C-alpha cells in the first residue's frame, strides 16, 4: 500500500519514490479531483500561492514561513512544474498533501499543466531523466486534466491562474466548461489560464500567443456582474512578489523567488482573513548547495 507520509518525507529530501507509487498517488488524486467543481468554493482564512515552477526548496520555505499543513489552509494557483530543477518532486509533494489533507489544500490548473507546454519547458525531460521513460509524465498529465479552473473564496474573491476571457461574463459560465481535457489553443478555458491584465481600454492581443490582455474596464464589469470584491491571479513574474492593479480590484501573486535561479525577485503569498482583509507574506529564495543542483539542458526562453 502507498504510504503517503513516507512519500512526503522522501520528496522533501528530493528523493524519488517508486514509479508504482507515483501511479497510485496520481490515481488517488484523480478520484478526489473528479468530485471538485470547475470553480472550487472555499472559506476563509486561506492562503493564496502563485507560481511554484519546480522550485522545491522554495516551496518548503513557503510552508515553513507561512505555516505547515494542516494548521494553515492553502490555495495554489497553478504552474507547479517547468523551469525549476525539481518540478516532479514539487508536484508530487503537493499531490501527497492533497491526499493527506484534502480539505486543507486546493490546487487549480495553470497554463504549464499541459502536455504541450511541459514537453518544451522542462517537465517532460525531467521525468524522462529521473525515471527512464515517459510513464510518470503521462500519469501527471492525466492529473492535470482534472484540476479545477478557479476558486471562489467567501463568494467574494475569484481566484484563477491567468485572467478573464471575452467569452465569459459570469462565474456560472465557467462551471459549464468541460475541463477534463488538454488545454485548448483558444476559447474560454485557454483564456482563464493564459490571459494577463494590462493598460488597455478593453481587450487586447496577448504577446504570449494565447489568451488576451484585459484592462480595468473588463475587471470592473466582471466584479460587478458577479458581486465580487477581488480577482487574485498568478501567471506573471512580479519582482516584489505581489502587485495590486486597477485600484486594488486585481492582484498578481508570485511565489517563486529568484525565478529560474537568476531573476533576483522575492516571492509572496496572500492570506485572506475572515474579514476579507489581505495580508501579504514576503519570502526570499532558500539557500541551496549549488553542487546538488542537477544538470539539465537550458530551458527555452519565453515571456516570464
Q: What is the pLDDT of residues 246-260, one digit of tens each?
A: 999 999 999 999 999
Quick one: pLDDT at residue 69?
A: 97
What is the average pLDDT across 6-12? Answer: 98
Quick one: pLDDT at residue 114?
A: 98
Asked if residue 289 has pLDDT above 80, the reply is no
Asked if residue 300 has pLDDT above 90, the reply is no
Q: Which SS3 state, helix, strand or coil, does residue 48 take? A: strand
* Structure confidence at residue 201 as a pLDDT band (50, 70, 90): very high
* Structure confidence at residue 287 as a pLDDT band (50, 70, 90): confident
274 secondary structure, DSSP code = T
Quick one: pLDDT at residue 1?
A: 79
Count the neighbouring beta carbons within 10 Å of the beta carbon of residue 22: 24
Q: Are 184 and 68 in contact (CB under 8 A)?
A: no
Q: Exposed, middle or buried, 288 (CB in 10 Å: 0-12/13-18/19+)?
A: middle
Count the neighbouring beta carbons within 10 Å of the beta carbon of residue 72: 16
Long-range contacts formed by 4-8: CB under 8 A, 24+ apart: 4/96, 4/99, 4/100, 5/100, 7/92, 7/96, 8/93, 8/96, 8/97, 8/100
Q: Which member of 53, 57, 112, 235 is catalytic? A: 112
Catalytic residue status for 185: no
What is the average pLDDT across 186-215? Answer: 97
Quick one: pLDDT at residue 215?
A: 98
Output the CA torsion 214→279→242→283 (10° steps): -160
What is the average pLDDT across 73-87? Answer: 98
* pTM, full prediction: 0.94
What is the average pLDDT across 209-233? Answer: 98
- The H-or-E segment that residue 87 falls in is helix 87-100
Asked if residue 302 has pLDDT above 60, the reply is no
**By mean pLDDT, which of 78-82, 166-170, 293-297 is the weakest?**
293-297
Quick one: pLDDT at residue 288?
A: 66
In tens, the pLDDT along 124-139 reads 999 999 999 999 999 9
What is the average pLDDT across 206-227? Answer: 98
Q: What percentage of residues in the chain have a pLDDT greater than 90?
A: 93
In tens, the pLDDT along 129-166 reads 999 999 999 999 999 999 999 999 999 999 999 999 99
What is the average pLDDT across 56-84? Answer: 98
Q: How many residues does the chain have?
A: 304
Asked if residue 73 has pLDDT above 60, the reply is yes
Q: Which fold has domain 21-290?
A: Purple Acid Phosphatase; chain A, domain 2 (3.60.21)
Amino acid at each position: 500500500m502507498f504510504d503517503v507520509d513516507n512519500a512526503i518525507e522522501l520528496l522533501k529530501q528530493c528523493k524519488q519514490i517508486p514509479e508504482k507509487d507515483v501511479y497510485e498517488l496520481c490515481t488517488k488524486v484523480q478520484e478526489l479531483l473528479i468530485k471538485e467543481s470547475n470553480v472550487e468554493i472555499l472559506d476563509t482564512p486561506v492562503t493564496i500561492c502563485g507560481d511554484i515552477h519546480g522550485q522545491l526548496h522554495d516551496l518548503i520555505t513557503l510552508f515553513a514561513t507561512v505555516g505547515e499543513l494542516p494548521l494553515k489552509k492553502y490555495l495554489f494557483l497553478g504552474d507547479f512544474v517547468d523551469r525549476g530543477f525539481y518540478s516532479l518532486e514539487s508536484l508530487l509533494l503537493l499531490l501527497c498533501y492533497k491526499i493527506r489533507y484534502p480539505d486543507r489544500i486546493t490546487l487549480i490548473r495553470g497554463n504549464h499543466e499541459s502536455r504541450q507546454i511541459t514537453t518544451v519547458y522542462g517537465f517532460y525531460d525531467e521525468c524522462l531523466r529521473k525515471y527512464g521513460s515517459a510513464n510518470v509524465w503521462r500519469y501527471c498529465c492525466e492529473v492535470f486534466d482534472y484540476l479545477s479552473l478557479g476558486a471562489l473564496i467567501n463568494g467574494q474573491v475569484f481566484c484563477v491562474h491567468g485572467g478573464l476571457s471575452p467569452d465569459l461574463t459570469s462565474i456560472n459560465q465557467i462551471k459549464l466548461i468541460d475541463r477534463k481535457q488538454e488545454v485548448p489553443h483558444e476559447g474560454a478555458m485557454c483564456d482563464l489560464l493564459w490571459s494577463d491584465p494590462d493598460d488597455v481600454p478593453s481587450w487586447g492581443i496577448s504577446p504570449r500567443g494565447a489568451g488576451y490582455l484585459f484592462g480595468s474596464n473588463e475587471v470592473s464589469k466582471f466584479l460587478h456582474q458577479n458581486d465580487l470584491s477581488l480577482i487574485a491571479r498568478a501567471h506573471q513574474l512580479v519582482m516584489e512578489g505581489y502587485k495590486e492593479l486597477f485600484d486594488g480590484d486585481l492582484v498578481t501573486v508570485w511565489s517563486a523567488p529568484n525565478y529560474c535561479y537568476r531573476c533576483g525577485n522575492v516571492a509572496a503569498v496572500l492570506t485572506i482573513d475572515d474579514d476579507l482583509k489581505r495580508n501579504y507574506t514576503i519570502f526570499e529564495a532558500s539557500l541551496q548547495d549549488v553542487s546538488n543542483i542537477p544538470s539539465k539542458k537550458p530551458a527555452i526562453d519565453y515571456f516570464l
